[in-house]
Structure formats: structure tokens, C-alpha cells
A and B are shown apart, each in its own frame.
Chain A
């Protein structure tokens, strides 16, 4: 193997008195390879990348880039931080020029280098546009171009795939493939476990510790032959999953559209229920990760067990009828139409900025539609927005708690905000604390909780008033797969009790849990259906076998763009 372009040995990095952000982590990046730095939020990925870029120094351990301290090798390092490091009030070309000059790119080479980079990133048409006016995907490409102005030997990319649409993400991977061919050593950090499978070598970090290093196939090989896909029980799949997860033979299980994907314990046998079909399924990197974390949670949600049963109803619980919102001459969401019956999960799927949040906010009654209307639990948004709000629980992974209040104070606050009586509040809080195991965290500030507890607390606050409808905004982005499963166990349990769920996500895994999803792209719904139906449609369009949700998304967007193109030509 060639001499690595970067090497870190036994890195220890600690901030204040907390547990170390990096605890004895070693890593090396080989030239001409994509090295994946994979792990959930808080794993220490960004810290390690900053140490390799020479922006932080570890308390113990050694770092070398091309055999030198990183601070001496800056000319050979290309670095794209999480927020791309672009000046929003400079144009595309001015940003490139700035980085070219700062990195000492000779003036004579500049024109040719910029032309090549703009072509490479497909930004030539936009060179005079302000960076702040670019879409997320284009910003990311420009960030990459700026990191490449002087072809580096080591390219550090800090979570380049977050929040951009799947097409841009796929293009980025193609670009990185080209760079790899030029002999550049690429370090790609990500919280998406599916991206790990595309890397040559993977370092899996969790809470500052290295769990795995090697080819991604080596981790998936550990769980090979233990993954089965079980289908043929239609609507009962959530109940089936609950039962399966409670069985000692099952290590992990997830819903994949209409089927359930199970990971068996080594040497365990599992007999599928009668009438169901069991087929072996391809193992994934995520399966290996879950196994290393000790398996997923049990299937029964105690939160759901204590929840009231929502009365049967034939009317749709969530309804959007032509919801449209314009900001000035910009249409953020156009003509949204969907209905969600009681006890179903409906997903709004799309990249950042597509119009998911706008639609979501209109249904919450936080944003007045420019035209169209909707209803939540029978309350029309135009006439009874307050009633609609009172019958829904809202949870966002990132924003819904008060970080400076303690767990107890957060619960009290939300009980008050949802207008529970003193006795109701006391009962609801006691129940939530007990079933979500928050007992020992009550006095802690919500902001200082570990991610998993934050997520539980956010869920507890959202359902204190036992609403019939639950709105989830990117509920599990960036958390580790076990926490995500625990969360969805609760949601699945609540849905069995008749709760109706609306979820927005750009995370394809979350989409698999939905009964129905609608793909939102540039403010319009381009396709609606069950995850399986969308995948089948995409399979037919792209000729792919066993397409993932992401493949489906890409194929449907391309189809949409083609149609839009034909319509333009026809007109």
C-alpha cells in the first residue's frame, strides 16, 4: 500500500471536563482512496478533521500530513468545512479567485484552473452569481471547488452530504471518484451509514471511540446470511415488527416499506409467521454498526402502551387541499394535496429548501396559506387554526426543547403550554418520566443531555396531552441507528393506538417507516405513493433492480425534469 497522505496516532482530545471528544483514535488516509469517517452526531468526526487540518491540536497523540505537522502542510490540504466557508456576498468566481490568491495560485494558471473547476462542478453558467443565492447543492460544489483550487494531496470533507438533494449528493460522489483517480487522498465524513458502503476504507466512530476500521465489506460480512426480509402481511407489519423485536432471536429490525427487515442473532433461528414470505436480504453497513452497539431496542413501546386509544374515524385526520404559499414572487410550496387517514404515517420527503417545512408550517397553523386550505383532526385551518394546533403534538429533533431549562421544567412548561390541568399534568409527566426512563435526568439542563435523552424528552413533551396527531420534523437526523430505532418503536406503537403521524425528512431511512410518502422537489409534489410503489416506479424508470428509496427519489426527479423540459419545448 502506498505511503498514507495523512496519519493520526492515538489522538486524545478533550474539551473542558466532559468525556473526551476523541479517545485514542488512530487513522490513516491513503492516496487515491476515499476514506470514510462515519458516525452519528457527537462521535468526534469534526474534531478529528479539524485536527488533521491543523485547526486544533490534540492533548495527546501525533498527527502528520505528508510526514509533516498539518500546520506546515497547508498547501497540500484542501478542506471543506461543514458550512462550506463561502463568502455569500461574493460571486462564484470571486470566491474562487479569493481562495486561489490566498493559496498562492500563480495568476497565469488561474484562468485555466478556474475553467476546469467550474466545468468539473458544472457551475460555469453561474460564475457571476452571488454564492448566497446558490442552492444548497451548488454551494456544496462551490465549496468543493474552493478546496481544490490548488490540487491538494489530502482533501478533507466535513459532512458534505448533509441536507443536499440526492442528485447533488450522487454528483458529488462522482466528482470525488474522479479526484480519487488523480491520486488525491479523500477523507469523507458522514452520519449517513449508507455512504459508508461507498468508501474504500471506513473508520466508524461512536462517542469518541473507534469501533471499526477496514473495508466496509468486512463489517457487513460479519452479519451476512443473518438478514432476512419478511413480507406478505400488509398492514400488520408494525405489529409483527413489535413482536419480532421482543423475540430473543432477533437483534434488530426495521420497516422497509411493506416488508420488515430483520437481523438475527448468530446461530439463532427464526420462523416466519404463517402466510408470510421470508427471503434473504443484502446485509448493510448499518446492520454491522447496530450489532456492534449491542443490537436494537425491544419492540414494545411502554409509552404507547399507556397512551389512550384514539377513536376510530372515517374522516382523514390530516388533509391538505391545494396548499400554496408564496413569498413575494417566490413560490415556496405549490398546490399541495394529500389526505392521511387515522393511524397512518405520512412522509414529506425532499432536500432542504424544497418546500417541506413550508407545507408543514401551514398545516401547523404557523403560516397562513396564500391559497388552498387544510384540516387537522377535523379542524379547518382557516376557521379553527387554534383547535388544529391543540390537537397535534410537534417535535423537531433540533429545536423543540429549552436548553437552559431542566428536564422537569421543560415537561412542566409543555404541560402548561398544552393547557393541562394541574392533576392531568402531574399524571402525564409522571407517566412520561417513568416509561422513558428520565427519572435520573430530571434536574439536568435539557441542553446538556446526551442526544438519546434529548430525543426522548422531546418526544415526551410532544405527547404530554395525548394528541391524536403528531407532527415530526426531521426527528432522528444525525442520531445513531439504535436511538433511531428506539424512537420509531415508540412512533410505531403510537400509530397502532390510532395516532396519525406527519413526518418531514430528507433521510431516506425515515421514509421507509411511512405508509405513504410524497416527494417534494422545487415546491411541488412530484410523486405520491407507498414507499414500495415509488421504488417499483423508479425501478421501471431506471431499470434498476431492488432500488433504494434514494434511487427512487433520483429517478423520479430526473423523470420530472425531463417532463418539464418536454413541456417547455412543446410550449
Chain B
């Protein structure tokens, strides 16, 4: 590459960006990926997919006929978390559990009322379905929570309410008290959308230039590779930010997701994430030069990790150690907590800045690799 070619000419860059812009506007598939797909994802995560366990079906076995027992039973029936089937004896309940019509059983034992009157309410029994650990944990905690609230309301006192243990535990979920999964799924889907545009779309458009032979013609003009790369990065960076803006607006105004941080922080986080996303997209397309292969690799290296290994759906802390170690190499792992912080908590720069720094670091790495792979040569 000669000194003249290496020169960065803003006019040539402007011409290339104008061309790219026209292609984006005219290519319906670009529009689909940038604006329609995010909408589909958001509505999917917003309405259809839910990790919430609200209104879990349980069976309530009331073996005691006392006023206290009936009061506690009513407390369960009124709880927004449970859909209750009340029975008098254990026998029919077992069948409900086996065929999955009930996810848990709460037993108010005989003599419950007497115990309450004596000031020492006997423990209730909570049986859960261990084949579904998430739900089981939820049922156990919330069933206990309902009993505690009832005991407090009845004036049974903390000591009594705790049914022995001297220390009362009263769970409170901060930032998302209703534990609504929508609140973290919707910001998380922004990560998916930015991955799609940053990596998949970018990989496709560069590979397309190779496939259609326009790359060859471009290389025969005096443009430099830096101009060419910039002409791909800038439009898709802006496109991804626009798409991110659309997602945020829908998240906040349609799904009522709180937005407690600042737009500035959101922009900083998104921009930092787009560096590795775009860099990876460029690297993939420069190394494969084929749209089909590029899309497969982009799905495997960007989309799936963002989906599975970023903490978006599966808690990273509950993954086995080897997989947890792999997540450190997934740029989206640093994006998801930052986004959730900005949406649900606010601008906690102490948490956001290290994440931004890591993403920018990955960005430099990928850009370095793609510059090395994009040589002005057909060899």
C-alpha cells in the first residue's frame, strides 16, 4: 500500500457513506433487521415470553376447621401469586402434583387453631415439586411469605410469626419489587438487537461486496482500506443506535419499564458495546468473504453467546465454573448488567465504567484483527 493510498480522504469517505446509506434505505432486508426484527423481539419478550411465576397453581390442604386456619387459607386465596385449589385431605392432592396441575402443596395441619390460641402456632407444611427447582424455590419462599404476612396482620408477633426462630426474615426485592421478568428481558433484548445490527448485518454487507464482485472494483480505485472500513462502521453504528433508541422508547412507553438512569449513560454503554460488535462483524466478513458462512459464524460467535452466556436469560452466577469463565470473553456479558443498571437502578458509574472499559478493550482487539484481515489484495 503506497503512501498516497494510505491517506485518509474525507471526501471519498463521504462518498462511500452516502452509497452505504442509499443501500440501507433501498435494501428491504436491512430495514427488516434494523427495525422490524427489534419490534418482534420486544413484543415477544414483552408479552409472550415471561419468566415470571405469578399465579402459580398450588393445592391448599386445610385439615383444621378453626377460624385461624380459615383466615390463613383466605390469605393464600387472596395472594396475587397463587391460584389455589382448596381440599380437605391430602389424598386427592397427590394426583394434582403428579400430573402438574399443582406446583406445590400447602398443608394447614389439624390443631393449627388451637396452637394459635395458645400463642404457639404449629408449623405449616409446604411441599414443592423438586423437578422444577426454580418454581419450587418460588413456591417455598412465597408460601412462607404469605404466612408471615398473615401472622403479622393477626398480631401474632414476630416471634410467633417466625414459628420458632428468633430472627424474622422479611424478603424485599429492590429495583424490581414485583420481580417482573419483563423489566430485565426488555433491556436485555436491546443487547440482542445491537448484536444483530452490529455483527450480523455488518458481516453480511461486507461479505456481500466480496460476493458481488464490487469489492474487487473498489480495491482498484484509490480508496484506502481505512476509508472502506470507516464507511461500513459509521452507518451501521448510527443504525444500531437508532434501533436501540426505538427499543428504549418502546420499553419505556409501551411496556412501562422504568428508566432511572440518564440517556447519556445509555448512549455511552451502547456505543462501547457497538465497538466489539462491529469489529467482530468486520472481522468475520473479512475472513470469510461469503454471506452464508458469515451469517453462520455471526450466529455462533455473537448471537448465541449474547443470548445464552451474557446473563440475559441465564444467571451467570449459577453456571458451572468452566462456562462462567467463558462468559468473560463475551462482550455482551458487560453490556447486560450495565443496561439493567441504567434502566432499573440509575447511573451507578462505579459499575458502568469498568464494563465500558472492558467492552472498548474488546472493540480494539476486534478492530485490530479486522484491519489485519482486510488487506487490499485478492491473494
Q: Which residues of A are interface residues toward B (Cβ below 8 A)?
A: 50, 53-57, 69, 71-72, 74-75, 77, 79-90, 94, 97-99, 101-104, 130, 146
Minimum CB–CB distance from A101 to chain B (whole Å) comes to 4
Are B15's CB and A102's CB within 8 A?
yes
Q: Which residues of chain B come closer than 8 Å to A130, judged between CB atoms?
A: 26
Are A53's CB and B220's CB within 8 A?
yes
* Residues A75 and B222 in contact in the complex (CB < 8 Å), given A94-B19, A101-B12, A102-B12: yes
Q: Report the tally of A-B residue pairs with Cβ distances under 8 A.
A: 86
Q: Which residues of chain A come closer than 8 Å to B376, judged between CB atoms?
A: 55, 71
Are B23's CB and A90's CB within 8 A?
yes
Q: Which residues of chain B come closer than 8 Å to A103, judged between CB atoms?
A: 221-222
Q: Which residues of chain A come closer than 8 Å to B11, judged between CB atoms?
A: 101, 104
* 21 residue pairs A–B, Cβ–Cβ below 8 Å: A50-B378, A56-B377, A69-B2, A71-B2, A74-B221, A80-B217, A81-B213, A81-B216, A81-B217, A81-B220, A87-B214, A89-B23, A90-B19, A101-B12, A102-B15, A102-B222, A102-B223, A104-B12, A104-B222, A130-B26, A146-B217
Are A94's CB and B22's CB within 8 A?
yes
In the bound assembly, the distance between CA atoms of A557 and B260 in angstroms comes to 72
In the bound assembly, the distance between CA atoms of A341 and B151 in angstroms comes to 100
Contact of B1 with A by CB under 8 A:
yes
Minimum CB–CB distance from B267 to chain A (whole Å) comes to 30
Contact of B5 with A by CB under 8 A:
yes
* Residues A82 and B213 in contact in the complex (CB < 8 Å), given A74-B220, A89-B22: yes
Are A101's CB and B15's CB within 8 A?
yes
Q: Which of B2-32 contact A (CB under 8 A)?
A: 2, 4-5, 9, 11-12, 14-16, 18-19, 22-23, 26-27
The residue of chain B having its C-beta at the shortest distance from the C-beta of A80 within the complex is: B217
Contact of B219 with A by CB under 8 A:
yes
Contact of B172 with A by CB under 8 A:
no
The residue of chain B having its C-beta at the shortest distance from the C-beta of A86 within the complex is: B214
Q: Which residues of chain B come closer than 8 Å to A88, judged between CB atoms?
A: 212
Minimum CB–CB distance from B30 to chain A (whole Å) comes to 10
Contact of B319 with A by CB under 8 A:
no
Q: Which residues of chain A come closer than 8 Å to B217, judged between CB atoms?
A: 79-81, 84-86, 146
Minimum CB–CB distance from A219 to chain B (whole Å) comes to 31
Q: Which of B199-225 contact A (CB under 8 A)?
A: 212-214, 216-223
Minimum CB–CB distance from A566 to chain B (whole Å) comes to 39
Q: Which residues of chain B come closer than 8 Å to A82, judged between CB atoms?
A: 213
The residue of chain A having its C-beta at the shortest distance from the C-beta of B378 within the complex is: A55
In the bound assembly, the distance between CA atoms of A55 and B216 in angstroms comes to 8
Minimum CB–CB distance from B2 to chain A (whole Å) comes to 5
Are B23's CB and A87's CB within 8 A?
yes
Contact with A along B355-379 (1 / 0, CB 8 A): 0000000000000000000001111
Minimum CB–CB distance from A51 to chain B (whole Å) comes to 10
Q: Which residues of chain B come closer than 8 Å to A83, judged between CB atoms?
A: 212-213
In the bound assembly, the distance between CA atoms of A23 and B323 in angstroms comes to 52
Minimum CB–CB distance from B189 to chain A (whole Å) comes to 29
The residue of chain A having its C-beta at the shortest distance from the C-beta of B212 within the complex is: A83
Are A56's CB and B1's CB within 8 A?
no
Are A85's CB and B213's CB within 8 A?
yes
Are B12's CB and A89's CB within 8 A?
no
Are B379's CB and A56's CB within 8 A?
yes
Sample of 18 further A-B pairs with CB below 8 A, known A86-B214, A98-B16, A102-B16: A50-B216, A55-B220, A56-B377, A71-B2, A71-B376, A74-B220, A74-B222, A81-B213, A81-B216, A84-B217, A85-B220, A86-B217, A89-B22, A89-B27, A101-B14, A101-B15, A102-B221, A102-B223
In the bound assembly, the distance between CA atoms of A53 and B220 in angstroms comes to 6
The residue of chain A having its C-beta at the shortest distance from the C-beta of B19 within the complex is: A98
Q: When the two chains form the complex, which single residue of A85, A94, A146 contacts B216, counting CB atoms closer than 8 Å?
A: A85
In the bound assembly, the distance between CA atoms of A101 and B44 in angstroms comes to 45
In the bound assembly, the distance between CA atoms of A89 and B222 in angstroms comes to 22
The residue of chain B having its C-beta at the shortest distance from the C-beta of A90 within the complex is: B22
Minimum CB–CB distance from A275 to chain B (whole Å) comes to 54
Q: Which residues of chain B come closer than 8 Å to A77, judged between CB atoms?
A: 220
Q: Which residues of chain A come closer than 8 Å to B9, judged between CB atoms?
A: 104
Best-surrounded residue of A75, A77, A104, A146 (most CB of chain B within 10 A):
A104
Minimum CB–CB distance from A487 to chain B (whole Å) comes to 29
The residue of chain A having its C-beta at the shortest distance from the C-beta of B26 within the complex is: A89
Q: Which residues of chain B come closer than 8 Å to A55, judged between CB atoms?
A: 216, 219-220, 376-378
In the bound assembly, the distance between CA atoms of A216 and B369 in angstroms comes to 49
The residue of chain B having its C-beta at the shortest distance from the C-beta of A50 within the complex is: B378
Q: Which residues of chain A come closer than 8 Å to B15, judged between CB atoms?
A: 97-98, 101-102
In the bound assembly, the distance between CA atoms of A81 and B18 in angstroms comes to 23
Q: When the two chains form the complex, which single residue of A72, A89, A146 contacts B4, counting CB atoms closer than 8 Å?
A: A72
Minimum CB–CB distance from B124 to chain A (whole Å) comes to 67
Q: Which residues of chain A come closer than 8 Å to B212, judged between CB atoms?
A: 83, 88
Best-surrounded residue of B214, B376, B377 (most CB of chain A within 10 A):
B214
Q: Which residues of chain A come closer than 8 Å to B12, judged between CB atoms?
A: 101-102, 104
The residue of chain B having its C-beta at the shortest distance from the C-beta of A158 within the complex is: B216
Q: Which residues of chain A come closer than 8 Å to B220, judged between CB atoms?
A: 53-55, 74, 77, 79, 81, 85
In the bound assembly, the distance between CA atoms of A241 and B93 in angstroms comes to 95
Are B378's CB and A72's CB within 8 A?
no
Minimum CB–CB distance from B136 to chain A (whole Å) comes to 51
The residue of chain B having its C-beta at the shortest distance from the C-beta of A156 within the complex is: B220
In the bound assembly, the distance between CA atoms of A57 and B379 in angstroms comes to 7
In the bound assembly, the distance between CA atoms of A79 and B27 in angstroms comes to 27
In the bound assembly, the distance between CA atoms of A479 and B5 in angstroms comes to 39
In the bound assembly, the distance between CA atoms of A55 and B217 in angstroms comes to 10
Minimum CB–CB distance from A53 to chain B (whole Å) comes to 5
In the bound assembly, the distance between CA atoms of A103 and B9 in angstroms comes to 11
Are B19's CB and A87's CB within 8 A?
yes
Q: Which residues of chain B come closer than 8 Å to A74, judged between CB atoms?
A: 5, 220-222
The residue of chain B having its C-beta at the shortest distance from the C-beta of A85 within the complex is: B217
Q: Which residues of chain B come closer than 8 Å to A85, judged between CB atoms?
A: 213-214, 216-218, 220
Q: Which residues of chain A come closer than 8 Å to B379, judged between CB atoms?
A: 56-57
Q: Which residues of chain B come closer than 8 Å to A89, judged between CB atoms?
A: 22-23, 26-27
The residue of chain A having its C-beta at the shortest distance from the C-beta of B222 within the complex is: A74
Minimum CB–CB distance from B205 to chain A (whole Å) comes to 11
Q: Which residues of chain B come closer than 8 Å to A50, judged between CB atoms?
A: 216, 378
Q: Which residues of chain A come closer than 8 Å to B219, judged between CB atoms?
A: 55
Q: Which residues of chain B come closer than 8 Å to A86, judged between CB atoms?
A: 214, 217
In the bound assembly, the distance between CA atoms of A103 and B26 in angstroms comes to 24
The residue of chain A having its C-beta at the shortest distance from the C-beta of B216 within the complex is: A81
Sorted nearest first, the 6 A-B pairs with minimum C-beta distance are A85-B217, A101-B15, A83-B213, A79-B220, A102-B221, A89-B26
